[in-house]
A = this chain, B = another copy of it.
Amino acid sequence: MFDKIRVVLVNTSHPGNIGGAARAMKNMGLRQLVLVDPQRFPDPDATSRASGADDVLANARVVATLEEALADCVLVLGTSARDRRIPWPVVDPREAADKVLDQLEGPAAGPIALVFGREDSGLTSDELQRCQFHVHIPSDPAFSSLNLATAVQVLAYELRMQSLQRQGQPTKMHKIETTALDNEVPATAEQMEQFYAHLEQVLVEIGFLDPQHPRKLMPRLRRLYGRIHPNLVEMNILRGILTETQKAIGVQASGARRR
């Protein structure tokens, strides 16, 4: 699906950044790289920073003008760090990803370009006026200029995030509820109560809890374990610890000394 998206780097000075951009693209499933008048390419620094994205570099198209890079594109977005005199539709990276995906999912899907300017001076006003939208990465105004490869990474990341979310795909490797590890069912309220009873019994047996002066110890422990919300495997571990503790202090686990 991302085959229709091309990353266009204009007049890049440092070949290392071309390599870094290629790696960032491939990390997020983008493959189409177009270089407009690069100052040094191919170059060993590009290959070194690509770090395995050599195929993206090898397939990169080198052209002389931005016009040539954009000729067949139906949607063009250009990154812009600086305030411009002519107001223009500006989107943040997440909105940019949505514009791109809307276009790709629409009836008239065609090539789409994400254009990145020079390391030191970005895109010129003329170049920016060839873009339907300007993408602004919300950096700190006091230090706003991102490295070229990391700027590519941010936009490529948002494309992949938004695309995965639209497709209902997970955005992380395991889809684990943070409250239920081991993919196990969480303990029921009844099992929690049995655990609290067992815990209280053991705390009395080890002399930590004085039933005459309980000092809100059990409510505090309930709050703690309630927050953890253990699953069944974990619950068995916790109960096992209690039972072993009882064995260690020489108490029958039969509950004979239960209050």
Contact = CB atoms under 8 A, between A and B. Distances in A.
Interface of A: 20, 23-24, 26-29, 49, 51-53, 83, 87-95, 133, 136-140, 143-147, 149-150, 153-154, 157, 160-161, 164, 170-176, 178, 181-183
Nearest to A153: B150
A212 B20 CA distance: 60
Q: In the complex this chain forms, how many copies of it are found?
A: 2
Contact of A90 (B51, B150, B160, B174): B174
A142 B138 CA distance: 30
Given A136-B172, A136-B173, A157-B137, A27 B90 contact: no
Nearest to A89: B178
Contacts of A138: 157, 160-161, 164, 170-172
A173 B87 contact: no
Given A89-B178, A160-B139, A161-B94, A24 B150 contact: yes
Contacts of A90: 172-176
Contacts of A51: 145, 147
A82 B253 CA distance: 42
A108 B111 CA distance: 49
B143 A178 contact: no
Given A138-B164, A154-B154, A161-B92, A174 B87 contact: yes
A51 B178 CA distance: 38
A87 B160 contact: no
Candidate in A53, A149, A154 with the most chain B CB atoms within 10 angstroms: A154
Nearest to A49: B147
29 contacts: A23-B146, A23-B147, A26-B143, A27-B139, A27-B143, A27-B146, A27-B150, A29-B140, A51-B147, A52-B145, A83-B173, A87-B174, A87-B182, A88-B174, A88-B176, A90-B172, A90-B173, A93-B161, A94-B161, A95-B172, A133-B178, A136-B173, A136-B174, A138-B160, A138-B164, A138-B170, A150-B153, A153-B154, A154-B154
A49 B147 CA distance: 9
Nearest to A51: B147
User: What 9 pairs across the A-B complex have the smallest Cβ distances?
Assistant: A89-B178, A150-B153, A136-B172, A92-B171, A27-B139, A29-B140, A92-B172, A138-B171, A90-B172
